[in-house]
Amino acid sequence: MRLIIHDLKKEQADQFLPQDENTKVIYQKSEIKPCRGCFGCWVRTPGKCVQTDGYEMMGELFAQTEELVIVSRCVYGSFSPFVKMVLDRSLSYLLPDFQIIDGEMHHLRRYENQFRIRVLFYGEDITEWEKETAKSLVYANAKNLNAQVEEIEFDPQDLGGLPC
């Protein structure tokens, strides 16, 4: 399955994003609650967030995906607030225990799958510093999720010419 997380307006997404039976699209259809850091997704309901707002199954969706595509406005070298909250709510994809990888502490995997990540950032006047920060963030997230970065782009043309 391909999982797409985006912060586009519905009209833009309908025009740009693929729609088929092998693609699941996550967008802001309702209010998303921020991760509370309560450990409920690890202890009380393993693999599922305890907050019920329509985004509680993100960890399970990550476990089913072969390719994660993120389309986000670049905000100071990071993801938009909505995309960041979706990624935070996917914490249940991992276990609460840690391991050292390349001298860094990372969560153990709950699931055995490994997926590819493509990130398409958009926005006006993205600086080189923001681009480098965003690239570092994507690679760090991929390492923690046991994923492989396939592509990171910053050109609105990569988004089908969407206005920024």
**Rg of the chain on CA atoms, in Å:** 16
Cβ atoms of 86 and 9 closer than 8 Å: no
Q: What is the pLDDT of residue 164?
A: 35
Who's near 20: CB < 8 A, 6+ residues apart? none
* Percentage, residues of the chain above pLDDT 70: 95
Residue 142 lies in a domain: yes
**Mean pLDDT score, 26-39:** 93
User: Where in the sequence is the domain holding 109, given as residue range(s)?
Assistant: 2-159
| C-alpha angle 37-49-64 in degrees, rounded to nearest 5 | 120
Report whether pLDDT(39) > 70.
Answer: yes
Q: Quick check: is 92 in a domain?
A: yes
Question: CA-to-CA distance for 95 and 97, rounded, in angstroms?
Answer: 5
Q: How confident is the model at residue 155 (pLDDT cuts 50, 70, 90)?
A: confident
* CATH number of the domain enclosing 16: 3.40.50.360
> Which residue type does 154 have?
F
- Return phi, psi of residue 68, to 5°: -105, 120
pLDDT value for 13: 83
The pLDDT of residue 70: 97
In this structure, is residue 123 part of a structural domain? yes
Q: Which residue has the higher pLDDT, 138 or 157?
A: 138
Average pLDDT over residues 110-138: 96
The reported pLDDT for the residue numbered 107 is: 92
**Contact criterion met (CB below 8 Å) for 19 and 10:** no
Helices marked H in 17-163? 58-64, 81-88, 128-144
Q: Is residue 139 part of a domain?
A: yes
Residue 164 covered by a domain: no
In a domain, 67, yes or no: yes
Q: Number of structural domains, the chain?
A: 1
**Tens of pLDDT, residues 61-96:** 999 999 999 999 999 999 999 999 999 999 999 999
Q: Is residue 43 part of a domain?
A: yes
Give the pLDDT of residue 57.
95
